[in-house]
Amino acid sequence: MAEPLRIALAGLGTVGAGVIRLLDENAALVGARAGRPLQIVAVSARDRAKDRGVDLSRYDWCDDMTAMAARDDVDIVVELVGGSDGPALTLARNTIAQGKGLVTANKAMIAHHGLALAEAAESAGVALKFEAAVAGGIPVVKGLREGAAANAIESVQGILNGTCNFILSTMEDSGADFGDVLAQAQALGYAEADPTFDIEGIDAAHKLAILSAIAFGARLDFAQVHAEGIARVRAADIARAKDLGFVIRLVGSADVEPAPGGGQRLLQRVRPCLVPDGHPLAHVDGPTNAVVAQGNFSGRLLFQGAGAGDGPTASAVVADLIDIARGEAGPAFSVPVGDLAPLEPADAGERTGRNYIRFTVADRPGVLAEITAAMRDAGVSIESLIQQGRQKEGGEVLVAMVVHEGPARTVTEALRLLEGSESLTAPPLVMPILAA
């Protein structure tokens, strides 16, 4: 029998306990596929007394998780604690410095420190793997890094945050407004008590930055990702979009374009978008995640599945462990860190497309004329306009419009012309309309 791969497991929450359950239940097949048993030897979390529904008596308990990497009986560390910095990062650095491989589900840490960790892992000749960090149980890191490795990837689009997708698809089904559905999502465990990272698009931006590095061979630069969240999307927007044949989804999209002086430029954005019925992301509902990648030889690839949860995320973590046990590691981001290209950001203003714009306006004469005049002066051509009837005398009215394809900067200019207008009762909401 081959020697076991001996694992230290830091973090025994949703994912950590899921990994223990998976390794218990699938021990034989995992061992057969890995070519050796995967054996947890030490665990760590904050509260030793907490019942996690799994038998921890088999493992050594470590109060200080950052010291786990130095143990002689540990070959690999699995970090399932979370947080971009703090003890998770200390443990990651310690692990690599000890010449041991690291598996993590921590997208925040990889988005902020992934390059430095990958560089250290390359120098130490150890594996750094993070399949579970992007889209939970979906093998999209592996899919792009290995399955699609022969392609130049032209674009990546994804529904990368299950909480937002649950909220938007529930708003669509129930007609309820954002705040009510968020509370429901929190009660069901689909949203954190502090949902800021999810609803402001930051979590999706972490994942998009990681995918971009792998897909385009770009030096990961989280600061380049433009993120807008879903908190300003109203039930009325969803109803208007539906009338027009669209659903609203929080979509992370990244693509490359030729740079003027040669090379490529990269655009990475997370925004609520109108998705047409024929688009593969239009039917991704509830907490499901999906990624669509366009390869120059493979054509369009669709990866879809559970983006979170103990089972799916544990599945991704253990797949990484199996790769390491088999000796299949390779550079974390497909190519060595030194070969990743520092791509300049593309100019979003020059991108053309159709947009949905919703104004919240005071119910008084002349408002519509003021808006359409700003559109005309900025060179934005209105394709269709929907004005929702007033709800009460003198109350607020929603004016939603779809504008013809044109450069994004013209829409920005129209909104600039309307800045400070007393007719608008809230900042307008612009959502791009994805091409089918």
Ligand X SMILES: NC(=O)c1ccc[n+]([C@@H]2O[C@H](COP(=O)([O-])OP(=O)(O)OC[C@H]3O[C@@H](n4cnc5c(N)ncnc54)[C@H](OP(=O)(O)O)[C@@H]3O)[C@@H](O)[C@H]2O)c1
Residue 313 C-beta: closest distance to ligand X, Å: 4
Residue 69 C-beta: closest distance to ligand X, Å: 14
With CB under 6 A as the contact rule, which of the stretches 9-17, 54-62, 181-189, 365-373 interacts with ligand X? 9-17
* Given 4, 14, 276, 387, the residue binding ligand X (CB under 6 A): 14
Residue 69 near ligand X by CB under 6 A: no
Residue 13 near ligand X by CB under 6 A: yes
Binding residues with ligand X: total (CB under 6 A): 24
Residue 360 near ligand X by CB under 6 A: no
* Given 44, 163, 170, 304, the residue binding ligand X (CB under 6 A): 44
Give the tokens for residue 46.
């904050």
CA–CA gap between residue 344 and residue 206 (Å, rounded) = 18
Q: Are 367 and 357 in contact (CB under 8 A)?
A: no
CA–CA gap between residue 144 and residue 259 (Å, rounded) = 24
Residue 59 C-beta: closest distance to ligand X, Å: 13
* Given 2, 24, 50, 296, the residue binding ligand X (CB under 6 A): 50
The residues near 12 (Cβ < 8 Å, ≥ 6 apart) are 20, 43, 44, 45, 50, 52, 54, 56, 80
Residue 82 C-beta: closest distance to ligand X, Å: 3
Residue 428 near ligand X by CB under 6 A: no
What's the first-to-final CA gap in the chain, in angstroms? 53
* Given 8, 15, 92, 292, the residue binding ligand X (CB under 6 A): 15
Active-site residue flag, 107: no
**Which CB atom, from 19 or from 340, has the smaller least distance to ligand X?**
19
* Given 7, 80, 256, 398, the residue binding ligand X (CB under 6 A): 80
* CA 254-261-149 angle, 5° bins: 40
What burial letters (b/e) apply to 312-336, b meaning 16+ CB within 10 Å?
bbbbbbbbbbbbbbeeebebbbbbe
Specify the DSSP element, H or E, that contains 325: helix 310-326
Residue 20 near ligand X by CB under 6 A: no
Residues 273-332 that bind ligand X (CB under 6 A): 308-309, 313
Residue 273 C-beta: closest distance to ligand X, Å: 23
**Which CB atom, from 133 or from 213, has the smaller least distance to ligand X?**
133
Residue 56 C-beta: closest distance to ligand X, Å: 11
100, 207, 242, 392: the catalytic one is 207
* Given 7, 8, 9, 12, the residue binding ligand X (CB under 6 A): 12
CA–CA gap between residue 15 and residue 106 (Å, rounded) = 11
Specify the DSSP element, H or E, that contains 216: helix 202-216
- Rg, Å, the chain Cα set: 24
Q: Are 225 and 251 in contact (CB under 8 A)?
A: no
* CA 141-279-300 angle, 5° bins: 45
Residue 46 near ligand X by CB under 6 A: yes
Residues 98-157 that bind ligand X (CB under 6 A): 105-107, 132, 136
Q: Residue 27 CB: number of other CB atoms within 10 A?
A: 13
Q: Which residues are catalytic?
A: 207
Which residues contact ligand X by CB under 6 A? 11-16, 44-47, 50, 65, 80-82, 87, 105-107, 132, 136, 308-309, 313
